[in-house]
Amino acid sequence: MASSTLICETQPWKDLKSHVEDIKKTHLRELLGDTDRCKSMVVDFDGITLDYSRQRATPGTMDKLYNLAEAAHLKEKIDRMFNGEHINSTENRSVLHVALRAPRDAVMQSDGKNVVPDVLNVLDKIKDFSERVRNGSWVGATGKALTDVISVGIGGSFLGPLFVHTALQTDPEASKCATGRQLRFLANVDPIDVARNIAGLKPETTLVVVVSKTFTTAETMLNARTLRAWISKELGPSAVAKHMVAVSTNLTPVEKFGIDPNNAFAFWDWVGGRYSVCSAVGVLPLSLQYGFTVVDKFLKGASSIDQHFYSAPFEKNLPVLLGLLSVWNVSFFGYPARAILPYSQALEKFAPHIQQVSMESNGKGVSIDGKPLPFETGEIDFGEPGTNGQHSFYQLIHQGRVIPCDFIGVVKSQQPVYLEGEVVNNHDELMSNFFAQPDALAYGKTPEELQKENVQQHLVAHKTFSGNRPSLSLLLSSLDAYKIGQLLAIYEHRVAVQGFIWGINSFDQWGVELGKSLATQVRKQLHASRVKGEPVEGFNFSTTTMLTKYLK
């Protein structure tokens, strides 16, 4: 395929377009009756089992998807990513988040330089700093230990670390290491978020980590100034050096802000914001909370998937399979959304994180060469842990719109409970639902079955489930730091696979810029009106009306 050829112009795409019409004539009830087909759709890797037999696909579909991968030069694109080529062409950057968790002896090049030694230097610095804070040899301005950390950042400088923190909180090994410590996240510029974050904390025992790739993001900078004022007011301006540190790729404004450059933890422009959780963005706050050893285990989990993604054949490659199936669902069935449904409360923040990774990466309108795309890319990602979601939005998924679902379950609970006299333990109760839901979606319930159950005639239509609703299941052997790292990397690479197939740039995010520049105009107006009493000017009727009301 020439680089300017759109994927939809290739023969494998056209083959899939006609193939989907045949698949539409089948029902998952029949497909699930074919044991050989189902056997071919279960893949195991390093404590993770993927079962995609409830996708509306056959082995023939998979072959056609592998042909599509070939037409899209998927393997070459993966190699180019790992080789540090500037695949983020609109920003002229490498995409090397895999280097953040590479084995110590790995060589990964960006612009002719092996970046692994730089990564290891920052990791060593984080290890040293977090150990000093945790063991009380780094203290605050009044000599007290810093037991509480507020991580200030938004988007990619927030969602990934929050997901990992939430997942580790109840892991027995990690939680033991966090005794007596607190980690909070301040993201929203809403003053309510500031109030909630500082509630119950004292500046003298608090360390603020300002996390911003650019160190220019308006919300983060204002929140950082607000916390700087909170610290200075109580402890004096000189306390800032002891109570504030930073994570950024842009170290000059960090120093200007008043943070000692020795207390700045670097990362690099080859790490995209939403792919930065394995850089100091996540590693610093998480090491402060759980200790470096736990976080290192998380990095090793991510690395295990990186190596698998790089080397496993497509038929056994978890991120590739997941990515191809998502392309199948979005581009050929036209399903616009995907539900991420972990049956683990510890994964409560997984869907919000993946929502950014996926939607900021793949919601694009042009190809990597700037050609308008005649097909939609990306999908609407959302999700909640089961079983909570079952009592909320599953009704729509069962009888309303078709939304492919990812069910994520764990064999061994982080916190098992055994209550005497109960039929099953709590985790088995949770997992009963994890196993039941995919079949409910796939098989549905026919009017004939309802009639056999003597359902009243006027209710038959209401109680009928069409079924044939696709899902896939991921079963993790446990949910420790290593597995959390694996899960993260699987989804990061899945998103990349989708982008590689669609032929877009999954690593830029120009779509967020317009809103930011319009907000600058509004900010100026609010300042002019409040300080100098100037009237609202230069906006359309609607915005003028609303701004005027707001200013009153």
Binding site for ligand F6P (CB under 6 A): 153-157, 212-214, 217, 220, 273-274, 360, 509, 512
Q: If DSSP codes are grouped into helix, strand and coil, which group holds residue 301?
A: helix
CB of 505 to ligand F6P, least distance (A): 13
Residue 539, CA distances (Å) to 521, 527, 545 in order: 9, 15, 9
Cβ nearer to ligand F6P, comparing 213 with 427? 213
Contact (Cβ atoms closer than 8 angstroms) between residue 226 and residue 240? no
- Peptide bond preceding 387: is omega within 30 degrees of 0, i.e. cis? yes
Task: For residue 483, indicate whether it is catalytic.
Answer: no
Contact (Cβ atoms closer than 8 angstroms) between residue 431 and residue 402? no
Q: Which of 113, 391, 462, 527 is catalytic?
A: 391
Task: For residue 360, indicate whether it is catalytic.
Answer: yes
CA distance 271 to 250: 13
Nearest C-alpha neighbor of 167 from the set 415, 458, 411, 459: 415
Task: Please list, in sequence order, all residues whose beta carbon lies within 8 angstroms of the beta carbon of residue 62, skipping any fewer than 6 positions away.
Answer: 40, 315, 324
Contact (Cβ atoms closer than 8 angstroms) between residue 295 and residue 286? yes
Cβ nearer to ligand F6P, comparing 238 with 520? 520
Kindly report the number of other CB atoms within 10 A of residue 326's CB atom: 26
Cβ nearer to ligand F6P, comparing 316 with 523? 523
Q: Which of 360, 379, 384, 492 is catalytic?
A: 360
Q: Report the relative pairing of strands 42-45 and 48-51 from DSSP bridges.
A: antiparallel
Task: For residue 234, indicate whether it is catalytic.
Answer: no
Cβ nearer to ligand F6P, comparing 162 with 479? 162
Cβ nearer to ligand F6P, comparing 190 with 422? 190
Q: Which of 176, 371, 516, 524 is catalytic?
A: 516
Tokens (6 digits) for 425: 């333990």
Cβ nearer to ligand F6P, comparing 157 with 367? 157
- Peptide bond preceding 5: is omega within 30 degrees of 0, i.e. cis? no
CA distance 344 to 332: 31
Active site residues: 360, 391, 516
